[in-house]
Chains A and B, each alone.
Chain A
Amino acid sequence: MSVAEVESRALELEAPSGLWPEAWRRLRRNPGAIVGFALVLAFALAAAFAPLIAPFDPLEGALEGRRISASPSWDHPFGLDQQGRDQLSRVIFGARYSLLIGVVSVTVGLSFGLVLGGIAGYLGGIVDSIVMRLMDVMLSIPGLLLAIGVVAALGPGLKEIMIAVGITNVPIFARLLRGSILAQKENDFVLAARAVGVPRRTILASHILPNAISPVIVQGTLALATAIIDVAGLGFLGLGPQDPATPEWGTMLTDTTRFLQTAPYLAIIPGCAIVLSVLGFNLIGDGLREALDPKLRGRA
Chain B
Amino acid sequence: MLRFVVRRLLLLVPILLGLSLLVFGWIRWLPGSPAIALLGERATPETVAQIERQYGLDRPIHVQYWRYLNNVARADFGDSIVTRRSVVTELREKFPATIELALAAMFVSVLLGIPLGFIAAKRYGGPLDHASLVASLLGISIPVFFLAIVLKYVFAVKLGWLPTVGRLSPLIPAEHPTKFYVLDAIVTGNGRAFLNSLKHLVLPAIALGSIPLAVIARITRAAVLDVMNEDYVRTARAKGIHPLLVDSRHVLRNALLPISTIIGLQTGLLLSGAVLTETVFAWPGLGTWLVGAIENRDYPVLQGGILFVAVVFVLVNLLVDISYAFINPRIRVS
Binding site for B on A (CB under 8 A): 1, 3, 6-7, 9-12, 32, 133-134, 136-145, 148-149, 152-153, 155, 225, 229, 232-233, 236-237, 250, 253-254, 257, 260-261, 271, 274-275, 278-279, 282-283, 286, 295-296, 299
Q: How distant is the Cα of A254 from the Cα of B144 in the complex, in angstroms?
A: 12
Query: Given known contacts A140-B15, A275-B141, is B26 in contact with A153 (CB within 8 Å)?
Result: yes
B260 nearest in chain A by CB position: A10
Tell me the smallest distance from the CB of A171 to a CB of chain B, in Å. Answer: 11
> In the complex, which residues of chain B have a beta carbon less than 8 angstroms from the beta carbon of A7?
215, 218-219, 262
What residues on A are CB-neighbors of B157 within 8 Å?
Answer: 261
B137 touches which of A145, A283, A296 (Cβ 8 Å): A283
**A residues within 8 A CB of B262?**
6-7, 9-10
Give the number of residue pairs across the A-B interface with Cβ within 8 Å: 149
Task: Specify the main secondary structure of chain B where it touches its partner.
Answer: helix
Is the contact region of chain A dominated by helix, strand, or loop, or is it mixed? helix
Q: Which residue of chain A has its CB nearest to the CB of B274?
A: A142
**27 A-B pairs, CB-CB below 8 angstroms?**
A3-B215, A10-B262, A11-B222, A12-B258, A137-B15, A137-B19, A137-B22, A141-B22, A141-B313, A142-B275, A143-B268, A144-B276, A145-B275, A149-B294, A153-B29, A229-B143, A232-B143, A232-B145, A233-B143, A261-B157, A274-B142, A279-B141, A282-B141, A286-B137, A295-B226, A299-B124, A299-B225
| Residues on B facing A (Cβ under 8 Å) | 11, 14-15, 18-19, 22, 26, 29-31, 124, 133, 137-138, 140-146, 149, 153, 157, 211, 214-215, 218-219, 222-223, 225-226, 258-259, 261-262, 265-269, 271-273, 275-276, 279, 290-291, 294, 306, 309-311, 313-314, 317
Contact B133 A233 (CB under 8 A): no
Q: How far is the CA of A149 from the CA of B307 in the complex (A)?
A: 13
Instruction: A143-B268, A237-B276 given; name 17 further pairs at CB < 8 Å.
Output: A3-B140, A6-B215, A6-B266, A7-B262, A10-B219, A10-B262, A11-B219, A142-B309, A142-B313, A145-B272, A153-B29, A233-B145, A271-B146, A278-B140, A279-B137, A279-B138, A282-B141
- Chain A residues closer than 8 Å to B30, beta-carbon distance: 152-153
Closest beta carbon of chain A to B154's beta carbon, Å: 10
- A residues near B267, Cβ cutoff 8 Å: 142
